[in-house]
Structure 1
Amino acid sequence: MRCLVLGGARSGKSGHGEQVINEWAPRQPVRYIATAPDRPGDEEWAERVRAHQQRRPAHWKTVRTDDLAAELDRDTSLPTMIDDLGMWLAAMMDQAGAWTDSSRASAPVDRLVDAVVRYPGPLVIVTPEVGMGIVPETRSGRAFRDEIGVLNARIAEECEKVVLVVAGIPLSLK
């Protein structure tokens, strides 16, 4: 079973994703793949990361990586949660220099989608829904908005369950 959880900033999407994986794999070890980058010297960011960590059960194992496809392929038996695709996509766009030509980020995106398709165990993927607001002023902002929209649609197509969290309320889409 695969579930995509979409939502805006601070909407409750991560918390809902944690609830879903707990329902699917109660009291089981869970691999939590964190995509948040280190931001040395940013105490507010560090506090956000700590709050997420403290909310998770002690028996969950956190893996920090930006190679999501390889990590999913590494162990296909563990119930897994990825949090979140937006930070991962931004890192991929940075690495590929894709802020002015987003097609440069297509290879890691394709690898991730393929890994999600292959993954046989419970998998919850958290991602931002950014296309519901204003059109970004910058080319890079528009590129990210467009690419996360396409990525979300591709992942949603492969998931049996898709949920949109708005103001803390989960709405089942699929």
Structure 2
Amino acid sequence: MRVLALGGIRSGKSQWAEADIARSAGPDGSVRYVATGAVSAEPEWAERVAAHRLRRPAYWSTIESADVPTQLRDEPGAPTLVDDVGGWLVAAMDRRGAWTDGRITGDVDELVAAVDAFHGPLALVSPEVGLTVVPATRSGRRFADELGSLNQRLAAVCDRVVLVVAGQPLTVKESL
């Protein structure tokens, strides 16, 4: 089952997705955790990353990579959590100069195809547009537009979509 967990900042979407994928893990409980956020020396960001690491069982494998499509294609049946799609989008926009005029259509197509082809338990975590801070800048609006479109495309290929609000999951889509 492919699950897209959406929510605002500090909504509990990552914690919900971690618990959900843990229930879907194999007999050994192992999960591949693909962390897309760039490593930063900023203390507040480092605290967020540390909190995420502390919540995960030590036997989960962590891969720090913005190349999510390759990670999904490499092990398309392994229980996998991607946290988060927004981090992946930032890296893709950086690579393609898409904050101004560059295009990420090919990157998005590749990600959506990799998610669609994935046949094991998969949880994707993504910020929901309008529930996150978006600066009143051209690049901020571009990010929101791209994220909204990406979330819609991912939701179309996922079996389940959940909106997490105050730590509580609200099922938006359920395919049986």
TM-score by length of 1: 0.94
Partner of 1:36: 37
Kindly report which structure 2 residues correspond to 1:48-127, keeping only aligned pairs within 5 A, or say none: 48-101=48-101, 104-127=103-126
Amino acid at match of 2:112: V
Q: Displacement, 1:105?
A: 1.2
Measured in 1, the distance between the counterparts of 2:65 and 2:78 equals 16
Partner of 1:137: 136
Instruction: Specify whether residues 94 and 81 from structure 1 end up closer, same or farther in structure 2 by C-alpha distance, changes over 3 A only.
Output: same
Q: Displacement, 1:114?
A: 0.3
Measured in 1, the distance between the counterparts of 2:133 and 2:58 equals 40
Amino acid at match of 1:126: V
Q: Displacement, 1:151?
A: 0.3
Match of 2:104, SS state, is helix
Matched, 1:15 2:15: yes
Partner of 1:157: 156
Unaligned stretches of 5+ in structure 2? none
Q: Displacement, 1:45?
A: 1.2
Match of 2:54, SS state, is helix
Measured in 2, the distance between the counterparts of 1:80 and 1:135 equals 28
Q: Displacement, 1:130?
A: 2.1
% same residue: 53
Match of 2:145, SS state, is helix
Measured in 2, the distance between the counterparts of 1:165 and 1:87 equals 18
Q: Displacement, 1:136?
A: 4.5
TM-score by length of 2: 0.93
Measured in 2, the distance between the counterparts of 1:45 and 1:134 equals 15
Match of 1:173, SS state, is strand
Match of 1:70, SS state, is helix
CA deviation profile, 1:122-147 (whole Å, cap 9, x unmatched)? 00000001235787421111100010
Measured in 1, the distance between the counterparts of 2:40 and 2:47 equals 11
Measured in 2, the distance between the counterparts of 1:36 and 1:133 equals 16
Superposition RMSD in Å: 1.5
Amino acid at match of 2:39: D
